[in-house]
Structure formats: structure tokens, C-alpha cells
């Protein structure tokens, strides 16, 4: 029996507030690059076959929180989470679309119930949804880029670091066993690298990126002192930039790119492929207008330790700060995020 067709789209908001996309079709672990000409979403050919289509949204508009709830009965989780959402999200809940997932529900084993909370301003969700409808996607399914990255990397078997060079920023994803991960976004990406033709300027940006990677790993080690990464994988970007970055990270066992099955994923398509693979799961539409609670079964789920690109108060003066149980990572350039 032929597996169903999965299509993943990586959405990237450009400087002129238009949507640029990379896209991949996945069937039977075979990846086909269907990125449109000039990355213009209006030129995207989705084909006529029935396919599950998932859109990975840019990291900039997405705010996430990892929160701990008291070990209440399942019937009360939604009530308690709504209260926590009002405290954790620095906006009126009427202004955002949210997704809330219970990571583990084992109140007898742990003192807290772990919950991952995502939020995105409605105008961004509407922007992605309207672009999707223009090309015939009637019910667009939106997922955070971090989950697309985590999905494409597959099952977590050890301690590892994933670096994704995106259009306007780069992600540092640290993965550990038991489905735990930590992420930070750095405002250095392809846009900054390709903006300058001067080789020395590009090298300076690449050096800055490598220093931020090393700094972030050092910070994470203060949170998890037994963290000893077994490997580092560089995704996204171009082969040239990935190789240049790997040469600056000689203390790590670096691999460039990733495979699906026995075949290498085309360079720069990893996020799109991850989004496509999320389409296999039942829970694929993360962003709703209500705080909806999804409780998984006994299978392990992702644990979000930190991620946000929003300046909260004076946090821009210090790229790392702790707020309650949520560890907040703030990029050094936050004025462009639209919040």
C-alpha cells in the first residue's frame, strides 16, 4: 500500500512583509523539492493529488513557555492552564492564538504536571492562513519551527546539538534523552550573510554566530551540568556556510545535513521535511483561538525548557534571565519582532 503524500512548507516572513517559502513533498521516505521560483508562495505547485499539508511558521512570531502545574485532576487541567496562560503570556488572550499540550500526566510520580504553551499574535496567524488560502489550502495547519526541527531529527537517543541556519535567524536546539529539549534563537541568518558581498564582513558574521553557539552551549551546561554532547548537526543555510561554521566549531563532532531513511535531505529543506512529517500525527494544528488541552497517553512527549524571541521588560540588556519556572532566551535584536 502506497503511503499518503505529505507536504511541508517552511514559511519565512521577508523584509517587505511578504511570505517566502521552501517546500518539500514526502512519500515513502522519498523527498522531492517543490520550492517555488523566487521562493514566492504564489508560485507553489501543490499538485492535484490529495496530500496532508503542514506549514512551519517562522520563529519570530512564536512565543513558548514551559510551565509546571500542581498535580490536579485531569478535569481541572484546562481551568488551571487558562489561569497560568494569563500570567505567562504578556498579551490579552483575545489578541493571540494558542496551543497548550500536556507533556506528561503522572501526578503520582512527579510533584508537577508539565505543560508546553505556545502563543502567536492573531495578525501573524491570519497572515499565514490568508497566504495559504490564496494557493488553495482551505484549512492551513500551522506548527512552530522548533517542532519541525525536532521532528526531522527523529528519535532522541543521546545528547546532541542541532544548529539551523534560517533566513533571518538561526536556531540552537539542544536535545537530550526522554524527549527533553532547549532552544535559543539568534538573530543571525542567511539574510545577514548574503546582505554583504565583502568576504571579511561575512566572516565576521560567521564568527559572531559561532561565538553565540558556544556561549549558548556554555549557558545550557549551567542548567544541565552532566550535559556532554555526542554530536552536533548543522541544518539549513547553504553548504558553503555550513562548512564555514563547522570549521569554527572544531571541538565538536559536526555533521552537515540530515537523512530521511537512506537518502540525504536536500540542503535547506530540513524544516520543510520536518513539517511534512508532523503531518503524520493527529495533533498537527497547534494554533487555535482558545487554549485547548491535549493530553497524550503514556508515550513520552516533548519537554520545552525555553524559547522566546520577545523582550520582556529589561531582558534585552541580558540575553538570559529566569522568570519563575520558565527560562527565557532573548535575542540581542528584538525590535523587528512586531510585538
Predicted pLDDT at 76: 81
Mean predicted confidence (pLDDT) in 327-335: 26
All residues at 6 or more sequence positions from 108 whose CB lies less than 8 Å from its CB, including other chains: 71
The CA-atom distances, in angstroms, between 1 and each of 4, 29, 174, 263 are 9, 14, 37, 21
Predicted pLDDT at 282: 58
Predicted pLDDT at 318: 33
The yes-or-no verdict on residue 13 having pLDDT over 90 is no
Q: Which CATH class is domain 5-62+122-337?
A: alpha beta
Task: Report the percentage of the chain scoring pLDDT > 90.
Answer: 29
Residue 243 or residue 124, greater confidence: 243
CA distance 252 to 229: 8
The yes-or-no verdict on residue 120 having pLDDT over 70 is yes
Mean predicted confidence (pLDDT) in 101-109: 62
- Among candidates 169, 185, 176, 186, which has minimal Cα distance to 153? 176
CA distance 239 to 227: 28
Residue 285 or residue 19, greater confidence: 19
Predicted pLDDT at 265: 93
All residues at 6 or more sequence positions from 307 whose CB lies less than 8 Å from its CB, including other chains: 59, 62, 63, 64, 146, 182, 183, 184, 185, 329
Predicted pLDDT at 308: 28
Tens-place pLDDT, residues 127-182: 888 899 888 888 778 888 888 998 899 887 789 999 999 988 899 999 887 667 78
- C-alpha angle with apex 326: 322 to 327, nearest 5 degrees? 50
Predicted pLDDT at 179: 64
Whole-number average pLDDT of the chain: 76
Predicted pLDDT at 178: 64
The yes-or-no verdict on residue 320 having pLDDT over 90 is no
SS3 for the chain, per residue? CCCCEEEEEEEEECCCCCEEEEEEEEECCEEEECCCHHHEHHHCCCCCCCEEEEEEECCCCEEEEEEEECCCCHHHHHHHHHHHHHHHCCCCHHHEEEEEEEEECCCCCCCCEEEEEEEEEHHHHHHHHHHHHHCCCCCCCEEEHHHHHHHHHCCCCCCEEEEEECCCCEEEEEEECCCEEEEEEECCCHHHHHHCCCHHHHHHHHHHHHHHHHHHHHHHHHHCCCCCCCEEEEEECCHHHHHHHHHCCCCCCEEECCEECCEECCCCCHHHHHHHHHCCCCCCCCCECCCCEECCCCCCCCEECECCCCCCCCHHHCCEEEECCEEEECCCCCHHHCC
CA distance 29 to 38: 26
Residue 263 or residue 307, greater confidence: 263
Task: Report the percentage of the chain scoring pLDDT > 70.
Answer: 77
Tens-place pLDDT, residues 22-34: 999 998 889 999 9
pTM over cut 0.85: no
Tens-place pLDDT, residues 193-217: 888 878 899 999 999 999 999 999 9
Amino acid at each position: 500500500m502506497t503511503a499518503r503524500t505529505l507536504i511541508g512548507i517552511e514559511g519565512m516572513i521577508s523584509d517587505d512583509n511578504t511570505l517566502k517559502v521552501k517546500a518539500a513533498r514526502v512519500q515513502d521516505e522519498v523527498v522531492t523539492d517543490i520550492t517555488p521560483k523566487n521562493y514566492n508562495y504564489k508560485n507553489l505547485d501543490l499538485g492535484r493529488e490529495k496530500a496532508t499539508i503542514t506549514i512551519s511558521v517562522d520563529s519570530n512570531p512564536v512565543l513558548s513557555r514551559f510551565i509546571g502545574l500542581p498535580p490536579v485532576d485531569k478535569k481541572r487541567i484546562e481551568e488551571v492552564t487558562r489561569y497560568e496562560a494569563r500570567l505567562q503570556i504578556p498579551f490579552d488572550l483575545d489578541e493571540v492564538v494558542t496551543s497548550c499540550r500536556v507533556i506528561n500526566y503522572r501526578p503520582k510520580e512527579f510533584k508537577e504536571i508539565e505543560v508546553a504553551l505556545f502563543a502567536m499574535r492573531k495578525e501573524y496567524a491570519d497572515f499565514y492562513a490568508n497566504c495559504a488560502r490564496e494557493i488553495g489550502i482551505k484549512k492551513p495547519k500551522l506548527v512552530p519551527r522548533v517542532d519541525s526541527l525536532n521532528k526531522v531529527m527523529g528519535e532522541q537517543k543521546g545528547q546532541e546539538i542541532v544548529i539551523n541556519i534560517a533566513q533571518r535567524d538561526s536556531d540552537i536546539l539542544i536535545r537530550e534523552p526522554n524527549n527533553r529539549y532547549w532552544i535559543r534563537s539568534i538573530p543571525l541568518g542567511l539574510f545577514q550573510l548574503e546582505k554583504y558581498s565583502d568576504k571579511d564582513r561575512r566572516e565576521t558574521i560567521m564568527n559572531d554566530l559561532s561565538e553565540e553557539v558556544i556561549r549558548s552551549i556554555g549557558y545550557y551546561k549551567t542548567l544541565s551540568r552532566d550535559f556532554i554532547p555526542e554530536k552536533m548537526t548543522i541544518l539549513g543555510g547553504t553548504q558553503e556556510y555550513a562548512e564555514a561554521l563547522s570549521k569554527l566549531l572544531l571541538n565538536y563532532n559536526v555533521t552537515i545535513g540530515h537523512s530521511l531513511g537512506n537518502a540525504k535531505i536536500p540542503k535547506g529543506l530540513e524544516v520543510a521535511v520536518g513539517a511534512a512529517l508532523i503531518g503524520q500525527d493527529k495533533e498537527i494544528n497547534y494554533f487555535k483561538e482558545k487554549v485547548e488541552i491535549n493530553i497524550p497517553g503514556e508515550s513520552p512527549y516533548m519537554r520545552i525548557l525555553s524559547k522566546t524571541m520577545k523582550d520582556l521588560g529589561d531582558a534585552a540588556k541580558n540575553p538570559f534571565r529566569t522568570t519563575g519556572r520558565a527560562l527565557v532566551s532573548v535575542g540581542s535584536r528584538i525590535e523587528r519582532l512586531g510585538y
